[in-house]
Amino acid sequence: MSKTAIPAKVASALWAKAAGRCQFRGCNKLLIGDLISGKRTGKFGYIAHIVADEAGGPRGDAVRSPQLAQDIDNLMLMCPIHHKAIDVDYLADFPEDVLLAMKAEHEDRIEIVTDMDVDRVSHVVRFAATTGQRDSLVTTRAIFSAMPPDHHPAEGRTIDIELIGSERKDHEETYWTEQNENLERLFARKIKERIEQREIRQLSVFALAPQPLLIRLGTLLGDVVPVSVHQKHREPDTWKWLPDQPRISYQVSEYGSRKDVPVALKLALSATVNDDRIFSVLGKDTAVWSITCEQPGNDIMRRKDDLAVYKKLLRDLFNRIKAHHGEGALVHVFPAIPASAAVETGRVWMPKADLGMKIYDQNRTAQAFVPTISIG
């Protein structure tokens, strides 16, 4: 344990820089107040030395220990568990450089979050629906940690639209009718009314659901207020955008022949979609327009800029399809895209300007694309 008395001003400054939370990486436990004991104003943290205040202590040094004993840059706020971990139980695993990195990460994050202005306040929409046989759940903690530095939550809870636990399955026609009606009703009550009352001025969307429902959600969101759509990554397991990843190499294919044929829009980024699968649904004479990429994959949408490029390409393709096939055409959409791209597909679509859409879903039971939701 520390032998040095930390000056009150230094201790107060450290508690402030740490926001009263444990600075051990991944902990972030609030160290002020305890509801169980009723000590709402109690302080339950420890001020730990990175370089011990004595030469014989953890990471101690004969020269530097006395020099750094009261230096705020050498102090960390810790919960009891992690204070003991770095000094006793796992001392060898936590050299000076590792602890300095933890301290810097924590204090930088606190500064970013607390320095945000009111224009970056965003209400959080959490949309989850049964996908196949699994219920999709999005944790609040994972969501809030992915928002800075661009936005921060407007309130300490999410706006939940959950279509969970339907007794019907996605190979049944009534499943899509029921889920679409539920989505529309929940959206109107939880989001649309608050937008109209000007309670909500900006939205951050975190969604995991079947692609037709994601696209439908996008059409409901539209562009009435600014919307930021996030993507769940599998590796690493995070909702944060990863700007240092390789760019997606998009490929756009346009149809230039007959106008009086069924129109298909193939959106294949997560997996390859062969045209024969579309022809088996709409016939051999189908006009296939498409946005694909060189190396499709489940975890392909990792950069926010790639999502912006996708939206631009799709907006242009909607215009070209309408110009070629005319006002009376219906666009049959075959999506195999990341969740964020599915939501943005709906947001890009303009109800007064674009052709109507029929969204298809790859059904595992039928081993084929089946029609689900019609839009417009």
DSSP SS3 for 332: strand
Per-residue model confidence (pLDDT) at position 368? 86
Q: In this prediction, what percent of the chain has a pLDDT beyond 90?
A: 77
Residues 6+ apart with CB under 8 A from 210: 129, 130, 131, 170, 361, 372
Tens of pLDDT, residue by residue over 26-55, are 999 999 987 677 777 888 899 999 999 999
Mean pLDDT of 229-248: 94
Structure tokens of 324? 């070629």
Contact 58, 30 (CB under 8 A): no
Mean pLDDT in the chain?
Answer: 91
pTM value surpassing 0.85: no
Q: In this prediction, what percent of the chain has a pLDDT beyond 70?
A: 93
What is the DSSP annotation of 206-229?
Answer: EEES-HHHHHHHHHHHTTSS-EEE
CA 75, CA 11: separation in Å to the nearest integer? 9
CA 318, CA 98: separation in Å to the nearest integer? 51
CA 9, CA 31: separation in Å to the nearest integer? 18
CA 376, CA 350: separation in Å to the nearest integer? 9
